[in-house]
A and B are shown apart, each in its own frame.
Chain A
Amino acid sequence: MDLITPGLGLVFWTVITFLFLLIILKKFAWKPILGAVSDREEGIKKALASAENARKEMENLHADNERILKEARAERESLLKEARDIKNKMIDDAKGEAQTQANAIIEQAQAAIESEKKAAMAELKNHVAGLSIEIAEKVVRAELSNKDKQIQLVESMLGEAKLN
């Protein structure tokens, strides 16, 4: 029966001891420990959230990069096209100018040739005329050594002149 009869003394001391233990541990152990644990959990939660944010930001950044790259590529494309156009145009222009210049040069050359030709012709004519006169003089001289022949010549010449 003693075994299941609570002793007053032990109840008394247990109450005092337990309350003492509860108060001391609450103040010096449970509060700082639970505080530290929940602080750390808060910290971990925050760190995870910020990591998630950073990941999202990175994704955004990546998308931005992609966009910028695309834009750059398009710009490069257009720049290249423009350059090609300019190049073509320049070539065309150059070609046209060259053509006209060539034409002009050719024309000039032709004109020069023509005039040279004319000059050459004139000179040739003069030369021929001179030569003819010389020849004629010689012939005439030879011819005119004889009276008959002189008359004959005059006559033929006159005949010719008539034809003109």
Chain B
Amino acid sequence: MTLNTFKNVFFSVLFLAISFVGYATESPENENDKEFNAKEMIMHHVKDAHEFHVVDWNGKPITIALPIILWTDQGLTTFMSSEFHHDDSGSHIVEKDGMRFVKYHEKIYQLDANAQEVAFDAEHHPTNASLPTDLSITRNVFMMWISVIALLLVFISTARVYKKSNNKVPTGIAGFMEPLIVFVRDEIAKPMIGEHKYNKYMPYLLTVFFFIWINNIFGLIPIINGANVSGNIAFTLTLAVFTFIITTISGNKNYWKHIFWMPGVPVPMKIFLMPIEIVGMFVKPISLMIRLFANITAGHIIILALMSLIFIFETIAVAPVSVAFALFIGLIEIVVTAIQAYIFTVLSALYIGMATEEAHH
């Protein structure tokens, strides 16, 4: 078991070490023809996109086309992202259902009825186009679904191990996943929520823990690391809102009393504490949202910035330094993937525990 664990860790590290070298070979062709702009490259990698850019080959981008789903004032419109022909400057116009669309800085604009071509103001905002509701399957959504498939495969096959063996002994994949599940139960749910109530929240905590963790890990894998799911604020916002909803719904009398009329302090203090507690109610999920987003995005930015050094200095001599530093940060990032998933889950459990705690004064 220990030998296997060691082997797993060793190969993961080796694999990731190779993958960061992958950045170096990937990026030059990316920006070969024009002047290298580190900020643009990094932001392009960190943010969401409508197509899945894999690599540039002989100056031609190899991408996975993803469906674009738009909700306009005339209803639903769908087409594939390949129809933009990799254009992101707003110059290629796609006509669909009598409407014209352009893609500019990863945003889909609907041109006004009489506009022939998109016009920009001084701040580079389109003046004659509007933003329809964009429900496209972006590369983050795509990656998120891949992570869902991976999670389902892993955990349903784990569950099958127990179903098959009548003595409930964890073998194979269950031997690897069970300690993690038991860890979430014994180190997160039980101490934070309490022995009697934790069971109800276990599915949420387990799902959120593994969902964040696997997306953090997928964000570190090259080629597909363009998708920065758990470093996207929309993703972290959604999960934080889930925690907020669960906390608020399961809040008992004691919890609301502590927010609106703090027991055990004088009346002026009660009045003083009320707004603070009300703000605190919202600050908790907001902190969850920002922490995960900032940590994961920062990790991506640091690695990409280190790699950018090679192209900023325009010499291969910097490469060993960049690769060494990126490798070092990458190793830290591997730890961060687990730590951030753990922190998000632990704090969610803590907030739920605070909301369900019984009065003990």
| Chain A residues near B (Cβ < 8 Å) | 2-15, 17-18, 20-22, 24-26, 28-37, 39-40, 43
**Residues of A close to B38: CB separation below 8 A:** none
**Contact between A30 and B203, CB atoms less than 8 A apart:** yes
**Total A-B contacts with CB atoms under 8 angstroms apart:** 124
List the 4 closest A-B pairs by CB distance, nearest first.
A36-B162, A29-B155, A10-B234, A6-B234
Which of A11, A15, A25 gathers most chain B CB within 10 Å?
A25
Which stretch, B88-96, B137-145, B252-260, touches the partner chain A? B137-145
**Contact between B138 and A18, CB atoms less than 8 A apart:** no
Residues from 99 to 156 in B contacting A, C-beta threshold 8 Å = 105-106, 133-138, 140-141, 144-145, 148, 151-152, 155-156
**Contact between A14 and B178, CB atoms less than 8 A apart:** no
**Contact between B148 and A14, CB atoms less than 8 A apart:** no
Which of B152, B169, B174, B234 gathers most chain A CB within 10 Å?
B234
Asked if A25 meets B207 with Cβ closer than 8 Å, knowing A5-B233, A9-B134, A32-B159, the reply is: yes
**Residues of B close to A15: CB separation below 8 A:** 238
Q: How far is the CB of B133 from chain A (nearest CB, A)?
A: 6
Alpha-carbon gap, A12 to B48, bound state (A): 14
Q: Quick one: closest B residue to A32, CB to CB? A: B159
Alpha-carbon gap, A53 to B46, bound state (A): 62
**Contact between A13 and B144, CB atoms less than 8 A apart:** yes
What are 20 inter-chain pairs, A to B, with CB distance below 8 A? A2-B43, A2-B105, A3-B297, A4-B233, A7-B134, A8-B234, A10-B235, A13-B141, A14-B239, A17-B145, A18-B211, A18-B242, A20-B148, A21-B148, A21-B152, A28-B156, A28-B159, A33-B177, A34-B181, A37-B181
Alpha-carbon gap, A3 to B235, bound state (A): 12
**Residues of A close to B48: CB separation below 8 A:** 7, 10
- Determine whether B232 belongs to the interface, using a CB cutoff of 8 Å to chain A: yes
Add 17 more A-B contacts to A7-B232, A13-B137, A33-B159 (CB < 8 A): A8-B133, A9-B133, A10-B48, A10-B138, A11-B234, A11-B238, A13-B135, A13-B141, A17-B144, A20-B148, A21-B211, A22-B203, A25-B206, A28-B156, A32-B162, A35-B162, A36-B162
**Residues of B close to A3: CB separation below 8 A:** 43, 46-47, 233, 297
**Residues of B close to A36: CB separation below 8 A:** 162, 168
Q: How far is the CB of A42 from chain B (nearest CB, A)?
A: 10
Alpha-carbon gap, A8 to B48, bound state (A): 12
**Residues of A close to B234: CB separation below 8 A:** 6-11, 14
Interface of A is mostly: helix
**Contact between A6 and B233, CB atoms less than 8 A apart:** yes
- Determine whether B202 belongs to the interface, using a CB cutoff of 8 Å to chain A: yes
User: How many B residues, CB 8 Å from partner?
Assistant: 50
Q: How far is the CB of A49 from chain B (nearest CB, A)?
A: 18
- Determine whether B15 belongs to the interface, using a CB cutoff of 8 Å to chain A: no
- Determine whether B196 belongs to the interface, using a CB cutoff of 8 Å to chain A: no
**Residues of B close to A35: CB separation below 8 A:** 162
Which of A2, A18, A28, A33 gathers most chain B CB within 10 Å?
A33
**Contact between A37 and B144, CB atoms less than 8 A apart:** no
Alpha-carbon gap, A18 to B239, bound state (A): 8
**Residues of A close to B182: CB separation below 8 A:** 37
**Contact between B181 and A22, CB atoms less than 8 A apart:** no
**Residues of B close to A12: CB separation below 8 A:** 135
Q: How far is the CB of B189 from chain A (nearest CB, A)?
A: 10
**Contact between B141 and A10, CB atoms less than 8 A apart:** yes
- Determine whether B237 belongs to the interface, using a CB cutoff of 8 Å to chain A: yes
Q: Quick one: closest A residue to B141, CB to CB? A: A13
**Residues of A close to B46: CB separation below 8 A:** 3
Alpha-carbon gap, A8 to B238, bound state (A): 10
Which of B69, B133, B135 gathers most chain A CB within 10 Å?
B135
- Determine whether B360 belongs to the interface, using a CB cutoff of 8 Å to chain A: no
Q: How far is the CB of A18 from chain B (nearest CB, A)?
A: 7
**Contact between B152 and A25, CB atoms less than 8 A apart:** yes
Alpha-carbon gap, A45 to B219, bound state (A): 42
- Determine whether B361 belongs to the interface, using a CB cutoff of 8 Å to chain A: no
**Residues of A close to B297: CB separation below 8 A:** 3
- Determine whether B158 belongs to the interface, using a CB cutoff of 8 Å to chain A: yes
Q: How far is the CB of B182 from chain A (nearest CB, A)?
A: 6
**Residues of B close to A21: CB separation below 8 A:** 148, 151-152, 207, 211
Alpha-carbon gap, A7 to B211, bound state (A): 19
Alpha-carbon gap, A24 to B204, bound state (A): 12
Alpha-carbon gap, A43 to B167, bound state (A): 10
- Determine whether B60 belongs to the interface, using a CB cutoff of 8 Å to chain A: no
**Contact between B162 and A18, CB atoms less than 8 A apart:** no
Alpha-carbon gap, A36 to B165, bound state (A): 10
Which of B140, B155, B169, B293 gathers most chain A CB within 10 Å?
B155
